Structure 1
């Protein structure tokens, strides 16, 4: 089977979340043919020179072990970890993909994105996104000392929290026009994405759009889970405990 996850926002000070991810790796993903990580695996990524961090080493080791056990790993960057690069990919034994990727399965074209690029009503975020995705900006940012980069990221995260409090749910969600554009541009009939933290299955015009959940195992009730494509081609949504969702 093929598995898809996103929006875990892994960080060292959330051990329950790390435990949930490692359990998924050892109990679920190890049985999969492929695992697609569709962005925001980490709460933030300051650059591949942070690979020596013990927490990052723990996560990379889990991914590498999964790859060595036979599961192919693929990565699409999120809005929090778009600075993941070739060194991380080599250490984790995964393949970096562009921000829009199409796979073929059981005669269907399935398009994969993180989802932030389709939140086009959030004009302020889209301008920020365009800036930080520029190679020149990234080169300049990565040239700064690691500690300075982490301070800047902490400030950006705090500003983001404040901004979100002033934005409506509609502005922070994907827009129908942007979704339609992805479908039209790729010829896909199925889309899988994350980012919005609003897990659901949307059906319209003969097309299906699956939205992945964010992971909050500490919440009551717990949130999280994955999407699977079985050997029979069936696409299913699963909660953290593995149970199937509608």
Structure 2
């Protein structure tokens, strides 16, 4: 404390530590000058209810706690790092130690982008981060590229599939009204737009949408014909791109009818 203003005390393996004992340790740290009490779930063991209760206990039972900030530091060994951190701030913590893309020891740490968007999407919690969310996707890509660490496609918020729809029912819903299957506007995290991915599971609505996007306005009867050909093509290929759609339409027996419309 004589060297720096902010002193953070890190209670190693606090997640598995008896709450009463942990409270006495935290009191000692505060008396010694700690301004931040970091409560790590070092092994990623805690359930959200357990971690939240631990933070609440410390908030209510540590003498002098009003002069310090309770901090969450959660590991993701059971996939609960983000959930535990959110429970922590709901119960009185005011700092979350997190990383971009959840990168960290073993299974990783709490993902910054997940925490930020959870709090943004639930404004009634009154927990604001003041982070410019439109930069999240870009910084995620920068970190991934710089570290050479691949981000899984289904990663929440920043994964390649986070705003991609390939199921026919979902595609139809998103085309009609984006909020049907998306609680976040892609632009809010720096993604240009949602993606309608054409696969063998896609329906007519998605095919018509993509065809229109590349210049083909199909009638219902024309769409039925093209969709039949599309399914045959999709059985042979994982994902159908715009060039494939051109080929499907141009090789159909109704091509001249379509372009003359």
Is the pair's TM-score, using the shorter chain for normalization, greater than 0.5? no
Structure showing the higher strand proportion among its residues: 1
> How high is the TM-score relative to the length of structure 1?
0.31
Structure showing the higher helix proportion among its residues: 2
Higher relative contact order (CA 8 A, sep 6+): 1
Larger radius of gyration: 2
